Chains A and B, each alone.
Chain A
Amino acid sequence: MRHSRLAAWGPLLVVAAVAMAIYLPLVVVANYPLAARTLARGATLPCDSALACTFFLRNPVLPAPNQLLGGILALSWPPGAPYALPLNAWWTAIETVVGLSLAATVGFLFAVLLVLSRAFQLSVLPWIVASQTVPIVALAPMLVVLLGRYGVQGWLPKAIIAAYIAFFPITIGLAKGLQSPDRLALDLMKTWNATTFQVFMRLRIPASLPFLFTALKVSTAAALIGAIVGEMSTISFAGLGKMLSENARASDVVGTWVLMLACALLGILLIAVVDLVERLVTPWRR
């Protein structure tokens, strides 16, 4: 059950090594024509062969590892600066986590109603499904304008957009989890004349926790994308999404790649947190 440190990191390092083995030649192949042309034009570059220059282009097709590293460092210090990754990632994380909490609350209510009432299931479930087919990029600006009319501004509208796309997996996952106890377990509660409330508290809800956490992991990824799309498609003053749209406008290739890496890292981090909470909340699982 417990992995040794090496066993845990070994496979990860192997994958990283393989990725590098593919990535480096790819950098050379992708940038070579541009490097050759740039050199031929007589631009000043800190290199003298086209091959070496594939790693030093101002606007490369595919940024080299040294350029990514430089970009990360440039965008990380000081961490509290308005252009810095840590500050902006922090706001995106806040929006995602608040969005997830909102989604979990709404998802739980919907799931309980879905389990309790067949009528609710028949009348509301199709609308819940329909809500998810509306493209979030179309919806986000409208939602922000609408919320702005009622004074809801800043990071909160993004959290609400995150919640909007995160509540669906949570609703479906929880509804499945609440229905997961088998016939016999329900019969057993019946022999003790347990109330519906007791059946929820002592049987359905504990049984649904593993389902909830599976759904939460899916939702975390969805909520993060929701928050970023929310930031990109509306007026924003902070967030990875804001940085992404600024970079796209400036066509800063290295910066865009650094931001994509930052988004991925934030996603991994948030899901790791969910995983940790899962371990704490469901200690009975092997």
Chain B
Amino acid sequence: MTLADTPAVASAPRERTGDPALVSVRAVSMVYADGTVALENATLDVGAGEFVSLIGPSGCGKTTLLRLLADLAEPTSGTIAIAGRSPAEARRARAYGYVFQAPTLMDWRTVRGNVLLPLEVMGFPKAEREERARRMLALVGLERFADHYPWQLSGGMQQRVSIARALAFDPQLLFMDEPFGALDEITRENLNLELLRLWRETGKTVIFVTHSIPEAVFLSTRIVVMTPRPGKIETVIPVDLPQPRSFETRETRRFFELATEVREALRRGHGFEVED
């Protein structure tokens, strides 16, 4: 298999850096033990500083792709590189932060304790741990709940704790699996804005899974549209909305055009599934 006949190879628009791809996925397939083809021949480059969203129907392999990048599973075939290293090396170097689709908080730790956990594991000095946890909780608007236990929080609040936890050790690369899926529309739009500001100010690279077309368009520099069974990358849509983006961005004509383009790509994916 050569690169020429892999679908939708898009090179990243290097807006802010001239680095080679930070994340490089080459002809990656993933077949689970039960025979489910979760990902077929996926090829994707993500440049440093990009914000790439994965969008596609349930079961098209979005989580699978993130897990492969994070070295939580190994691809059946193909290669993945993160800053020129294997995912395993990147993981050992603590190169990324990962927000799971489910909050996965530790019941026995308070909200603050949960945010402190990765910092303790990584051996940050005590004063710095506390300071970072405080800042991260402020960022997600949960300072007042620092001493609550997870069961005392709503689902959306729990998810915000898990975001604060992933950001606490300040990784340059972020994997976020539907982080705002459980939030109400207004909180979601606010956190979208916060995340975008954080991304712009820190130059992080984000790979973001969502089911929301407006969210994908609003946040991303590129949108990867996927199709299910087997999971494939259908198209990659560059988003040329100017930065910095604000609430008004959502009302521009270009925003609607891009949203329509993503929707049509998703439709094509579904049609493909029906014919099957």
Binding site for B on A (CB under 8 A): 182, 184-185, 187-194, 198, 202-203, 206-207, 209, 282, 284-286
> Can you spell out 8 A-B residue pairs with CB atoms less than 8 angstroms apart?
A187-B100, A188-B98, A193-B91, A202-B121, A206-B109, A284-B109, A284-B110, A284-B151
Min C-beta distance of A32 to chain B, whole Å:
58
Contact A193 B92 (CB under 8 A): yes
A284 to B118, CA, bound (A): 20
A191 touches B91 (CB 8 A): yes
Q: Given the complex, which residues of B lie within 8 Å of A285, measured CB to CB?
A: 107
Whole-angstrom distance between the alpha carbons of A41 and B97 in the complex?
A: 91
CB proximity of A209 to chain B, nearest CB, Å:
7
Instruction: Enumerate chain A residues within 8 angstroms of B93, measured Cβ to Cβ.
Output: 193
- Report the bound CA distance from A209 to B107 in whole Å: 12
- Output the least CB separation between B222 and chain A (Å): 24
Q: Are B108 and A192 in contact (CB under 8 A)?
A: no
Report whether A206 and B106 are in contact in the complex, using a CB–CB cutoff of 8 Å. yes
Return chain B residues, CB-CB under 8 Å to A207: 106-108
B120: Cβ under 8 A from any A Cβ:
yes
Q: Beyond the given A182-B104, A184-B104, A284-B149, please list 9 additional residue pairs across the A-B interface where CB-CB is below 8 A.
A: A187-B100, A190-B71, A191-B98, A192-B121, A194-B121, A202-B120, A209-B108, A284-B110, A286-B151
Query: Could you mark each residue 71-107 of chain B with 1 if its beta carbon is under 8 Å from any beta carbon of chain A, else 0?
Result: 1100000000000000000011110111010101011
Question: Cβ of B193 < 8 Å from any Cβ of A?
Answer: no
CB distance from A71 to the nearest CB of B (A): 47
- The residue among B72, B120, B121, B169 with the most chain A CB atoms within 10 A of its own CB is B121
Q: Is B122 an interface residue (CB 8 A)?
A: yes
User: Which B residues touch A282, using CB under 8 A?
Assistant: 108
Question: Is the Cβ of A192 less than 8 Å from the Cβ of B72?
Answer: no
Q: How far apart are B62's CB and chain A's nearest CB, in angstroms?
A: 16
Measured CA separation A282–B71 after assembly (Å)? 33
Instruction: Tell whether, in the assembled complex, residue A190 and residue B91 are in contact, meaning their CB atoms are under 8 Å apart.
Output: yes
The answer to whether A202 touches B117, judged by C-beta atoms less than 8 angstroms apart, is yes
Bound-state CA distance A191–B171 (Å) is 11
Residue ID in chain B nearest A209 by CB atoms: B108
